[in-house]
Amino acid sequence: MTGPNLRSLAPKAFLSALLFLLASVVCTAQTPEIDYNTYYRFPLSVGIEYQALSPFGTYGSQYNIFDISAALRWPLRTMPALQPTARAGMTRFTHQDSEATRDWTHTHFYGSAGLTYSHRFAKNFEIGGEALAGFSEAIFREVLPEEGTVSSANLLFEGGARIALNPSFNLSIDVHPNVKYLLSLSDLEEFNGFIFGIGFCASYRFGQDPDAPGAVIRSLRFEQVSMPAVFAAMQSYYVNNPVGRVTLVNTEKHAITDVEVDFLQPGYMDSPTPAAAVERLEPGQSAEVPLFASFNREVFATEGVTPLTGEVIARYKSRGKPAEQRQSVTYDLHDKTAMTWDDDRKVAAFITPADSALRNYSSFIRQACKEQQIPLYNGALQLAIQVFHALAEIGCLYQADPTLPFTRVQENPVVVDSVSLPRDTLRRITGDCDDLTVLYCSLLEAAGAETAFITVPGHIYSAFNTGEAGREYQQLHPERSMTINVEGELWVPVEITLIGKSGFVEAWRKGAEQWLEYGNAPEKRGFYRTRECQEVYRPVGLRETDLGLQYGRTEAIIEGFERDMDRVIEAVATEHSQAAHQSGREQDYNKLGIVYARFQRYAQAERAFQKALDVNPAYLSAQVNLANLLYLKKDFSRAVEQYLRSYDALVQRGMGQDSMALKVLLNISKAYYLMEDYGRAEGYYARAERIDAQKAAEHAYLGTRRSSQARAAEERDPEYDILFVEE
């Protein structure tokens, strides 16, 4: 047998495959996220192939064998790596033995069909295999010259591998090592058996190159792109809430998948903001997609109204091929002072307690009134009075907006209002009700007080949390209506437009009256806690600069603060004084003494406690509270003596384990703690623990000498951390 043999063909096949592989690596840029089988799927391939064949056995003589064929392949739509295949061709056996009595030269004309698997793992390279079966007719023209042509039917089976290099989308060149098996259906069985071959095939693939300029996919239509005006102050809101909407329509006759939509605003975003993902859009199907926006700080640098053009970006797969479409959208960007009143909570975005200018100013106010601060009275209320008078001292006044008064913008959520940032209001020292509300709330928040804002028809004003329990309203003011009970805590409303025009108490009362005015129509009033609102509408970003603010005279701030505190003290004390004088009961005089003591009116407090003892000399509550006065005057030794006498009396009466005894023991421990007699302080604290460990734990610093606990005690201000006894 002449021609190629199995042993010589194997190295050549290996070398050819290696060369094709190297060529593919050089020519192909790998992109793992692309499904090449789908992306480069073609509708139909037509190929011409030449094969040199060599039988595994011997036919008893020498033959030169080759094969020429044409093949059709068409990838499956859903699985393009699987390709049904049809082949037709001829295999020529040329007899090489000139001395043979018969010439066995013959030709097989055949047709076969089967399946090819071709995996394309790079743009220019694919590898796979195939299996086919068919029928052939062998024509012998020379074997019996005297009888003419002889034919023989055969079954044909074929399996092989394919290594393909694709110089372009439409052209493919294959190396095709394969094995054929011939099985004669006649008595002519000499040519039955396996034949090994290596083929070289060139194929033309119909279809359009997806990478060609003319092959850009446009499977989506953008409809109803809605992009209303955007407000810089709402920057954080747009991250989780739609800034606009777009409707996408699939215009193809096939489904598109893996749709991802982003929104990009060049210059005002660091990267596109993901909007939504749609797994599948059927032919003609539409989907409404909300657009989100993660703006950077550049939005705060704009002034007035800035027209912008953004892009809606849609990425998807059409017949498995990645595609991208963009749609421009125009809208207006309003600066950081603008908002609409469709949601009253938006005003929280303008409350900026983190502004260093406000922190510095609020710190100044607190320091100015530090010596006048009453430690045992509500700290938040005192702070609110101080800030109120500090703003009045620098000349801050209410001035209605002449072009867009609040009454107009509140009733029309489409109208764009302008709310000044607190630092800007401080510069101008004038503002309308919304400007002064956000300024006042910002200063209180900067000093650690929790705030809220109240809206009623045509107006907005401030409120703050006192932290007092709802039932303790008389600690703040004798009139229950002067406070607002919110979830068990008392809040104080403040009519901020009265800054510079009246005292704090008048502003407090006016704010309470406005709240009560809509008591029968609660739907017309709104109470919004700043911190809750800022979970949705975070404060605007600031580029902080020194305001050059003149803080005013501390004497004037102190004078206003003391004047209003005297009025509050008078209101609270008068209520208890009248009750005591009317009833004559020792309990009421005792309560009056506690009120005066908490206001640091120690002389009046002592007279009230003595009056209680005049009514009932054995009244232990007043005796303990007189010791508390000594404690507050820092006469700790005499206070301890009085506490011990009271405790002994309690023990004699069988009350050594009740709540009064607990308070007395804790007060003794506090006195020793401040005298730095920590051993005795711990001892009396331990005795208090045995009565009620849970309540004693509120003063745990007394039971240890560790510095960390001492620091905790200092935060509580132990000099005023005293326990009064009401009964």
| Assigned fold of 618-720 | 1.25.40
Instruction: Describe the crossing of helices 620-632 and 636-652 by its angle, rounded to 10 degrees.
Output: 160
Of 439 and 226, the structure prediction assigns the larger pLDDT to 439
Sheet holding 451-456, edge to edge: 484-486, 489-494, 459-469, 451-456, 526-529
Mean pLDDT across 594-619 = 94
pLDDT at 3 over 50: no
Residue 110's φ and ψ, nearest 5 degrees, are -140, 165
Q: Of all residues in the chain, what percent carry a pLDDT higher than 70? A: 91
Mean pLDDT across 445-468 = 95
Class of the domain covering 6-205: mainly beta
Mean pLDDT across 273-290 = 93
Rounded to whole angstroms, how far apart are CA atoms 211 and 534?
49
- pLDDT tens, residue by residue, 334-373: 999 899 888 999 999 999 999 988 999 999 999 999 999 9
pLDDT on residue 707: 43
Query: Is the alpha carbon torsion for 592, 595, 598, 601 positive or negative?
Result: negative
The model's pTM: 0.70
Of 397 and 715, the structure prediction assigns the larger pLDDT to 397
Q: Residue with structure tokens 């006469």?
A: 635
Q: Residue 253 has which token pair?
A: 């006759």
| Assigned fold of 216-334 | Immunoglobulin-like (2.60.40)
- pLDDT tens, residue by residue, 124-176: 999 999 999 999 999 988 777 777 788 889 999 999 999 999 999 999 999 99
pLDDT on residue 25: 44
Q: How many CB atoms lie within 10 A of CB 608?
A: 26
- Supply angle C-alpha 197, 107, 132, rounded to 5: 45
Selection from 11-20, 215-224, 592-601, 710-719 with the highest mean pLDDT: 592-601
pLDDT on residue 417: 85
pLDDT at 18 over 50: no
Are 643 and 627 spatial neighbours (Cβ–Cβ below 8 Å)?
A: yes
Mean pLDDT across 655-678 = 92
Are 432 and 345 spatial neighbours (Cβ–Cβ below 8 Å)?
A: no
Rounded to whole angstroms, how far apart are CA atoms 57 and 176?
21
Residue 98's φ and ψ, nearest 5 degrees, are -75, -15
